[in-house]
Amino acid sequence: MRYSTAGFPFSRRLGRCCLIGFLLSGGGCLPVMKDYAGHRVFNPMYLFYLEWGLRDKWQKPDEVITALELPPSAVVADIGAGGGYFTEKFSAAVGPSGRVYATDVQEVMIKRLGKRVGRRGLGNVSVVRGGFHDTMLPESCCDLAFFSSVYKEIDARISYMRNVRRILKPGGRVAILEYRRDVDAPGPEPGSRLAQEQVIDEMQSAGFVLLKSLDFLPREYFLVFGAAP
Ligand SMILES: C[S@@+](CC[C@H](N)C(=O)[O-])C[C@H]1O[C@@H](n2cnc3c(N)ncnc32)[C@H](O)[C@@H]1O
């Protein structure tokens, strides 16, 4: 099978080579990030790593979603959804009376999300092309805005997160998962990782308060915020 990632021809064989190189290098020497329309974003060449079955072992998606204590019929924005790894799990968690908005800024990810939604029949998922400065979601639409390995890629994070406040329903929350700086495992280049204290400071500047800091993921910190009164 061959598919194109933003014009880059990609085969399974090349994918395997990338995976081996990625694992051998600790993920630190390969171009995990690339320029897209003048922005530094995740390189879709490595999407296979985010979709890989072994991810469940360290990502613990079911525990992540349980810890979020979603209200019944919840509406979740999976912002920077990539290939839809979490989108599909949120779709099952919120059920037919809930909704998931899966957004991304890269065309190749939007296509992958659309394919996943069609192939898996995810009737409660809407795929939305996000902007670099705005989620492009309606006001007060969501109980949760979820960012898995996305926050560090956002250009002007404080103003972006101020916009995120607008898409939250009263009592809505923001969850941020990001790689720890001190973890030696394949993932984002060490220089691109953010200290969790920096994320907390920036979120406070954007008008949020930290509600929970969860510590059960081996590679990532997991922060949950609510809107400051
Ligand atoms: C490392 S991938 C993570 C994908 C997915 N969240 C996951 O955990 O599998 C980061 C994704 O965020 C997207 N992204 C970066 N900046 C964004 C922004 N401002 N708004 C929406 N998506 C963004 C990238 O295109 C990329 O698909």
In tens, the pLDDT along 110-132 reads 999 999 999 999 999 999 999 99
Angle between helices 85-94 and 107-120 (to 10 degrees): 40
Domains of the chain by residue range = 60-227
Token digits for 187?
A: 């993932």
Q: For ligand 1, is residue 103 a contact (CB within 6 Å)? A: yes
Task: Tell me the per-residue pLDDT of 127-173, one tens digit each, with 9 for 90 and over.
Answer: 999 999 999 999 999 999 999 999 999 999 999 999 999 999 999 99
Can you name the CATH fold of 60-227? Rossmann fold (3.40.50)
- Ligand 1: which of 104, 109, 132 to mutate, most ligand atoms within 8 Å of CB? 104
Query: Could you give the CA distance from residue 212 to residue 219 in angstroms, rounded to a whole number?
Result: 17
Q: 220-227 and 75-79: which strand pairing?
A: unpaired
Torsion of CA 200, 205, 207, 210, to 10 degrees: 20
Main-chain dihedrals φ then ψ at residue 169, nearest 5 degrees: -70, 165
The model carries a pTM of 0.90
> pLDDT under 70 in the chain at which residues?
1-30
pLDDT of the residue at 149: 97
The answer, yes or no, to whether any atom of ligand 1 lies below 6 A from the CB of 149, is yes
Question: What pLDDT, on a 0 to 100 scale, did the predictor assign at position 7?
Answer: 35
